[in-house]
Structure 1
Amino acid sequence: MAGKENLAFIETEKPRENCAVVGVFSRESDIANIAFNGLVELNHRGQEGSGITLANGWRFETIKDSGLTTIVFGLKHPLPLLENASIAIGHNRYSTSGSSHDLQPFVEDGIAIAHNGNLTNVRYLREQFNLPEEIDGAKSDSRVALAVINRMKGSKQNRIISGLKQFEGSYSFVFATDDALIATRDPLGFRPLSLGRLKNGSGYVVASETAAFDAMESTYERDIFPGETVVINDRGITTIALDQRSEIAQCIFELIYFSRIDSKVFGIPVVDFRARQGEILARHIPDVDIVMSVPRSGIGATEGVALSEEVIERGIVHKEGLYTNPYRSAVKGARTFILPNGRNKAAAKKYSANRYVLEGKRVCIVDDSIVRGSMSRVVEKLREAGASEVHALIASPPLKHPCRFGIDMATYEELLANRIPDLEERRKCLGLDSLYYMTFSETMEAVVGNKVDIEDETVFEKNDFCGACFTGRYPISTEGAIPKEEVEPLELEKAPA
């Protein structure tokens, strides 16, 4: 694979959200275009493939392919066309399993499905329902989910409800049937899913993030509740199931990294959360001249640091000393994509350090997380440009455990904080003069907006969040999940010149 012209570029330093979903119901609006616009706005959640399915009451029309949404629909294919279509669902993929056969949406027996998340009991489901490893060439848990649903009895709606009861793990699903758009979140609420109303009053939309709603010609109504299943059809919106649990496990990394800064996730404006992260980190800033972010990473937290009273009073200025060339990426607009076997070399090429800003200066960089340790090459770049000291503030606790709930961040062996548990040794490995991570309680303080008394690793679960990637305290068993090492990423084509 590595020898091919169309190399598979994967985001190796940052965790990867594996999907985005959208849905539209309207008999008057251009639903294919609305779904397309929503997927474009959510391409940060999935860049390896994009697909849209339309339904008109008696048939489905699906187009899906590898690449960014604007490449799939425009350079490769037109938008799907289907006369009298009133339902559209769409999906952006960041693969955690499979090949081009695993591109979504999937369609079978009158139901189309798109999925954000990861089922942790997929191996049990295959055994229980006697399902093969591949279904129509697809290996993903999402294809298994549709097969299980269609083993249930009754109407399409009843099959979906019965199938959902078989699943464990994380999921935000959108379904299209012959007459309805159906949306649901898992009972623990791992992944976000929001409901919007079309501005012309002709119908409704759902999307993984509220940031998509403007482009989808809609306004935010509310979040789909954890455990809630809603049906959207000609009669409006109806909640047909609500599996309420005493425990909620919303993914904290949605706020820290994945979600767009103009989204509202789990009822929290992301911009406010990241600003509070910066205010908290400012308490720990060392004696420096400049505070700066790594381009496109940690920007909100950096601004929070720079605007804090502590930093302003000390005369620390906010300047950007790193420049990233948007034309260097193999996939236009993609986030931090680099060759798997050339991580540090690629990190060096991605950034240019501005000597006119950095020479002779003590620098503090702010980043949202450290996964594998490619920051070491960034630090080297800063020193080569004349920085006299380089310090780092990290807007999350150390990542020590892989996620099994829909995020492909790394294996245990790849995680720097797991490989090098000692903080001082990790600082030396990265070439930093000092290194500070937000604590568990500080992270939750940024969520709730005030001091949190709980200092130990239970602080996330006691506040309805999952922080297993930091603590190792998984809210449910992950033994049946598909490990990252068993799957291959989908190959990406280079964007046409």
Structure 2
Amino acid sequence: MADSIFPGEQPDRLEEECGVFGVYAPGEDVARLTCYGLQALQHRGQESAGIAVGDGSTVIEAKDLGLVTQVFDEATLAGLGEGVVAIGHVRYSTSGGKASWEAAQPHISAIDDTLIALAHNGTLVNTNHLRAQLIDEGEHLRAGTDSEVAAKAIGHLTRQTHHLREGIRYAMENLEGAYAMVLASPEALYAFRDPHGIRPLCIGQLPEGRGWVVSSETCGLDIVGAEYVRDVEPGEMVRFTAEGMVSEQAVPPRPRASCIFEYVYFARPDSVLDGQSVYQARRAMGRILAEEAPVEADLVLGVPDSGVPAALGYSEASGVPFTDGIVKNRYVGRTFIQPTQAMRQLGIRLKLNPLPSVISGKRLVVIDDSIVRGNTSKKLVQMLRDAGAAEVHLRIVSPEVLWPCFYGIDTDTREQLIAANMTLEEMNDWIGSDSLAFISLDGLRASLADAGHDGFCTACFTGDYPVPIPDDVAKKSFLTRKDFEAVYAGEVS
């Protein structure tokens, strides 16, 4: 069989769309605080970065393609001036298409003579409908992103109600999908979240009451010294001004559906989501997986970085020693320096390298967070065998990814997902591992016992979508490779 079962050089990870950060702190260097916050959230998106600052009278923005440290230097931060409020964004493109300056955020929009800036984590499923509606009502849209649609909807409704708070509330009633958003006006910070709470968003306070901070993850609060206060609740809108923090339930909450993959892979291990330590959750996943899928082995290895806490848990529960048998090159990230074809063929070795002196002749249990398209797992297994491993047993701390995500992750169709197109035995044979096992969905849920709720979105495992997917999107996206072959053969319409 060919080296890859999927066309193109698509990423073999579930890629998170973005991270958002906001601060309201008169008298503080809000642009610099936001820059620090974005560096803490860099793992959530590495294609572009942007910061918008409100100084009481207007909003100024700087954004570009690249990592936070590539986009913002001292001169760029100084150019943003002194302000009372700032928001920031790091992006990985999904619904907005390829990386481009126009799609970078925050998105600036005008409401008559007032500028606002909006940053969005997630994906709206009714973007096409809202865009057509706004155009019919005289709005001009250019960027082609759902973030622009949200900003234009807020502006349009604010003109009708004459209050930004009302414009946001009415917009939230019309937005469908996943959104954790921060918005800056010249003098205020707003934070709001979809009624299912699909994407995370938390609130912190700077020391001595100097200001407020909003972040996709608590690691963004930690880096600026803010104390965690609470999460933004599903359907809630929070406003930060000189009068302090004011909250309202803008839209009624719906059944809770927080993305369960945040705990598996997206979030940093030092973050806390809904009261659940991500690190401890991953360690628990490993312990549960050891009970569900034991195997005789000499060593347990974790694929850096997200697989390491789970590997420690697997080792604890199984008694098989843990070792650092794979070294990660932390200076190879998502950059805009394109490797040569010869370098691309090295594939996974650009980021990971095994230690033959540790693993040669050993039977290995290798813990990873997920298998999406399977190409990375196949190369990883071969790399470990080349380094002398006697056996390679893959253990995955998420269930099989069988369905695409429409809420901010870059899986477009079932055709791309190996588990939707192969049996477990076929996957194991194709990848080349000695055995392959996934944690059960019940086991994954059990690892999140400390979360403040039990409502998680598991659509990528079950196909049970908390927000209905429009038919024109679902018809193509739900087809497997066999379905496509049947279509091409004229067997189905």
TM-score by length of 1: 0.86
In the other structure, the counterpart of 1:129 is: 134
Residue-by-residue CA offset, 1:411-457 (whole Å, 9 max, x unaligned): 3111110121x11111111101111101111111111269xxxxxxx
Superposition pairs for residues 327-366 of structure 1, below 5 Å? 327-329=331-333, 331=335, 345-366=346-367
In the other structure, the counterpart of 1:149 is: 154
Offset of 1:30 from its aligned partner? 1.1
SS of corresponding position for 1:274 = helix
SS of corresponding position for 2:382 = helix
SS of corresponding position for 2:416 = coil
Offset of 1:247 from its aligned partner? 0.8
Percent of aligned pairs with the same amino acid: 37
In the other structure, the counterpart of 2:322 is: 318
Letter in 2 for 1:13: D
8 Å contact kept, 1:14–1:409: no
In the other structure, the counterpart of 1:301 is: 310
Letter in 2 for 1:441: D
Q: 1:377 aligns with which of 371, 374, 379?
A: 379
Q: 1:222 aligns with which of 226, 230, 236?
A: 230
Counterparts in 2 of 1:176 and 1:248: CA distance versus 1, 3 Å? same
Offset of 1:324 from its aligned partner? 2.9
In the other structure, the counterpart of 1:51 is: 50
In the other structure, the counterpart of 1:138 is: 143
Counterparts in 2 of 1:208 and 1:80: CA distance versus 1, 3 Å? farther
Offset of 1:207 from its aligned partner? 0.3
SS of corresponding position for 2:53 = strand
Q: Work out the CA distance in 1 between the residues paired with 2:298 and 2:151.
A: 56
Q: Work out the CA distance in 1 between the residues paired with 2:281 and 2:473.
A: 32
Offset of 1:136 from its aligned partner? 5.9
Residue-by-residue CA offset, 1:233-282 (whole Å, 9 max, x unaligned): 01111113343335111100011100000101122111111111011012
8 Å contact kept, 2:289–2:397: yes
SS of corresponding position for 2:296 = coil
8 Å contact kept, 2:173–2:251: no
In the other structure, the counterpart of 1:287 is: 296
8 Å contact kept, 1:34–1:217: no
Q: Work out the CA distance in 2 between the residues paired with 1:84 and 1:70.
A: 20
Offset of 1:369 from its aligned partner? 0.4
Q: Work out the CA distance in 1 between the residues paired with 2:440 and 2:340.
A: 32
Q: 2:91 aligns with which of 72, 81, 93?
A: 93
8 Å contact kept, 2:195–2:254: no
8 Å contact kept, 1:52–1:80: no
8 Å contact kept, 1:466–1:474: yes
Letter in 2 for 1:216: V
Letter in 1 for 2:143: A
Q: Work out the CA distance in 1 between the residues paired with 2:57 and 2:107.
A: 16
User: Which of the pair is proportionally richer in helix?
Assistant: 2
Q: Which has the higher contact order (CA 8 A, sep 6+)?
A: 1
Counterparts in 2 of 1:443 and 1:114: CA distance versus 1, 3 Å? same
In the other structure, the counterpart of 1:495 is: none
Superposition pairs for residues 99-110 of structure 1, below 5 Å? 99-109=100-110, 110=115
Q: Work out the CA distance in 2 between the residues paired with 1:43 and 1:323.
A: 21
Letter in 2 for 1:103: A
Q: Work out the CA distance in 1 between the residues paired with 2:186 and 2:18.
A: 24
Number of equivalenced pairs: 456
In the other structure, the counterpart of 2:33 is: 34
Deviates more, 1:351-360 or 1:15-24: 351-360
Deviates more, 1:59-68 or 1:147-156: 147-156
In the other structure, the counterpart of 1:472 is: 463
In the other structure, the counterpart of 1:432 is: 433
Counterparts in 2 of 1:482 and 1:83: CA distance versus 1, 3 Å? farther
Letter in 1 for 2:300: V
In the alignment, does 2:416 pair up with 1:418? no
**Which ranges in structure 1 are unaligned for 5 or more consecutive residues?**
1-8, 451-461, 487-497
Offset of 1:400 from its aligned partner? 0.9
Q: Work out the CA distance in 2 between the residues paired with 1:440 and 1:340.
A: 39
In the other structure, the counterpart of 2:60 is: 61
8 Å contact kept, 1:122–1:482: no
In the alignment, does 2:212 pair up with 1:210? no
In the other structure, the counterpart of 2:487 is: none
TM-score by length of 2: 0.87
**Which ranges in structure 2 are unaligned for 5 or more consecutive residues?**
1-7, 478-493
Q: Work out the CA distance in 1 between the residues paired with 2:381 and 2:272.
A: 33
